[in-house]
Amino acid sequence: MLKIEDIDVYYGQLKVLHDVTLTVGERELVAVIGSNGAGKTTLLKSICGLLKPQKGHIRFRGADITGTPTHKIVESGISYVPEGRRLFPYLTVIENLEVGACISRARKEMKETLKTIYQIFPILKERRDQLAGTLSGGEQQMLAIGRALMSRPELLLLDEPSLGLAPVVIQKLFQTIKAIQEEGTSMILVEQNARQALKICDRAYVIETGKIILEGAGQDLLRDERIRKAYLGVR
Amino acid sequence: MVSVIALCAGGALYVGGATFTQLLLGGVLVGGLYTVTALGLALMLGVMKILNFAHGEFLILAAYMTFWLSRLMGVDPFITLAVTCPTLFLFGMLCYRVTLSRTVRKGFDQPVVVTFGLMLFLQNVYTLLWTGNTRAVLTSYSTNTFIVGGVTITILRLVVFILSIAAVLIFHIFLSKAYFGKLIRATMQDYEVAELQGVNTSRVYLLAFGIGSALCGFAGTLISLMYAFEPSVGPLYLLKSLTVVVLAGMGSFLPLALTGVIIGIAESFGSFLVGGGFRDAIPFVLFLLTLLLKPKGLFGRY
């Protein structure tokens, strides 16, 4: 479904991603783990067009989306939940969701999609006229994911969704993420919380200073000694 | 707050009851016009962070259109609104497309240079086309008044006020209820994330500039009915509008209604107290005071 081929991405003069290659298949949950500054967010930003690779290509369903404007990429079925939620703080919960359905194909089905989102996240229905900036961390994360789902994406990109959330909330969050995958949406899950990410994913990539250093099935990586030492806190 | 009220009470005693009401009413009526005049500027500033130095020239373009339509074809000035608003809408988008669209989000300097240049360009075009003579739009009913409780109300001013308030209300409803209004507000708050929801932010900018210009068209027609004008009068309205915007603060648009009226009242009382010649200086004073005392404005969010 998604093929990233050998991309180099720069921030100004600084090379942040080196020859990154990555694939995501239908209904697959792919995790990308790595420490701070490894380039995980850069990778996701490059997929949705906020950054443009200097080298290499990104193909979605066969079409080359490298360098395409962001809103067109969203039209074609990719949705991104940014790091730190980044809701529209002075819009209400329901307004955030409505804006999420901006693309034409989603706008027609807005009512239906809203129903589904409210089923997955009942708290959003409860708080629908509340300003997004006044929600708690966990609620904001749910709204951010809900908003991204409003465009009915085929591929959902999640950037560190567990950041700043209480452990109890994180559990619920990952359950929800798995449920979304089971409904048919492919996902790339970028996480610093390596254990949880590896547990629920099908495949995973490990990225370090801009390079993919390891790739494999989630379960295999969980047992890998190097991973356990570096990311899972095992001594 | 307390000092303001004390000042008002003191003022009331000084000028006497009927005059006080007269001045207050006059200020409120003018204030409505100031609000709708500032609306276009506020929209462009809020959405694109562009300060349109040619704001006054957009207003005056509509004023000239109303003048010529009513002078040459005998069209009632209020009817010309149907022409000036769409024309300014398209004109604004054309200006934006040709000049500003490339400078958006590239810092503050570039748009400033462009709109400033546009301002000079338009002023000179107006002078070339229509000479520097002062114009005013007069109608058969321009001076009709009626008296209520010892206070004289000019009908024209009242109608202008009502239309201004209507425009402000319609604009507010558009922003809060219409889907595109929500897209505009979203783009104002975080354009990158708006883009991530599939919002074509370039198109939002273009249309927002168009809507802002259409609002200038509306306000410009009304201005032509109330005041005399000539090609160089633009910057005065730019500064008055800017004062309304700065006093309100960046964030939402409803406070503009309040600050517009505040400026109107300040002008009304101010010119009574220090002489009519200083009337236009009063908004400037308020502008400076705001920057010194409350730079974020009374209701500012950013």
Residue B129 confidence (pLDDT): 94
**Contact residues on chain B for A103, CB-CB shorter than 8 A:** 198
Q: B189 is written with which tokens? A: 């708050």
Residue A226 confidence (pLDDT): 81
Q: Which of A68, A95, A98, A99 to mutate to test the interface with B (most CBs of B within 10 A)?
A: A99
Please classify residue B17 by burial: count the beta carbons closer than 10 Å to its beta carbon, then call 0-12 exposed, 13-18 middle and 19+ buried: exposed
Among partner residues A86, A102, A106, which is closest to B190 by beta-carbon distance? A86
Q: The whole model's pTM is what?
A: 0.90
Tell me the per-residue pLDDT of B245-258, one tens digit each, with 9 for 90 and over: 999 988 788 899 99
Residue B253 confidence (pLDDT): 87
Interstrand relation of A55-60 and A63-64 (parallel, antiparallel or unpaired): antiparallel
Residue B149 sits at φ, ψ, to 5 deg, of 55, 40
Tell me the per-residue pLDDT of B162-193, one tens digit each, with 9 for 90 and over: 999 999 999 999 999 999 999 999 999 999 99
Closest to B92 in 3D by CA, of B278, B219, B271: B219
Name the minimum distance, in Å, from the CA of A192 to any CA of chain B: 22
Q: How far apart are CA B43 and CA A160, in angstroms?
A: 34
Q: Which residues contact B238 (CB under 8 A, 6 or more apart)?
A: B41, B53, B55, B56, B119
Q: B126 is written with which tokens? A: 């107006």
Interface residues of chain B, partner chain A, Cβ below 8 Å: 179, 182-183, 185-186, 189-190, 192-201, 251-252, 301
More confidently predicted of B131 and B218: B218
Confidence of residue B41 (pLDDT cuts 50, 70, 90): very high
Q: Which residues contact B183 (CB under 8 A, 6 or more apart)?
A: A99, A102, B194, B199, B204
Q: CA A76, A77, A83: angle at the middle one, nearest 5?
A: 120
Residue B146 pLDDT > 90: no
Among partner residues B185, B195, B252, which is closest to A71 by beta-carbon distance? B195
Paired strand residues for B153: B146
Residue A231 confidence (pLDDT): 78
CA dihedral sign of residues A102, B108, A131, B260? negative
Residue A11 confidence (pLDDT): 86
Residue B142 confidence (pLDDT): 77
Cβ B106 vs Cβ B76: under 8 Å? no
Residue A177 confidence (pLDDT): 92
Interstrand relation of A155-159 and A55-60 (parallel, antiparallel or unpaired): unpaired
Residue B284 confidence (pLDDT): 86
A/B interface, count of CB pairs below 8 Å: 65
Q: A35 is written with which tokens? A: 């420490």
Residue B152 confidence (pLDDT): 84
Per-residue pLDDT of chain A (235 residues; tens, 9 = 90+): 888 888 888 888 888 999 999 999 999 999 999 888 888 999 999 999 999 999 899 999 989 999 899 999 999 999 999 998 899 999 999 999 999 999 888 888 899 999 999 998 999 999 999 999 999 988 999 999 999 999 999 999 999 999 888 888 888 899 999 999 998 899 999 998 888 889 999 999 999 888 988 899 888 888 888 888 777 776 5
Residue B5 pLDDT > 70: no
Confidence of residue B123 (pLDDT cuts 50, 70, 90): very high
Confidence of residue B116 (pLDDT cuts 50, 70, 90): very high
Tell me the per-residue pLDDT of A89-121, one tens digit each, with 9 for 90 and over: 999 999 999 999 998 888 888 999 999 999 989
Cβ A131 vs Cβ A162: under 8 Å? no
CB contact under 8 A, B182 and A91: yes
**Contact residues on chain B for A106, CB-CB shorter than 8 A:** 198
CB contact under 8 A, A79 and B186: no
The whole-chain average pLDDT of chain A stands at 90
Residue B174 confidence (pLDDT): 95
Closest to A172 in 3D by CA, of A192, A196, A136: A196
Tell the residue number behind the tokens 């957009």, with chain if given.
B58
Among partner residues A69, A74, A91, which is closest to B185 by beta-carbon distance? A91
Tell me the per-residue pLDDT of A37-46, one tens digit each, with 9 for 90 and over: 888 999 999 9
Confidence of residue B12 (pLDDT cuts 50, 70, 90): low
Q: How far apart are CA B69 and CA B90, in angstroms?
A: 18
Q: How far apart are CA A133 and CA B192, in angstroms?
A: 17
3-state secondary structure of A80: strand
- Report residue A214 CA to chain centroid gap: 20
The whole-chain average pLDDT of chain B stands at 89
3-state secondary structure of A78: strand
Q: What is the ipTM of this complex?
A: 0.89
Residue B261 confidence (pLDDT): 92
Closest to B67 in 3D by CA, of B215, B225, B213: B225
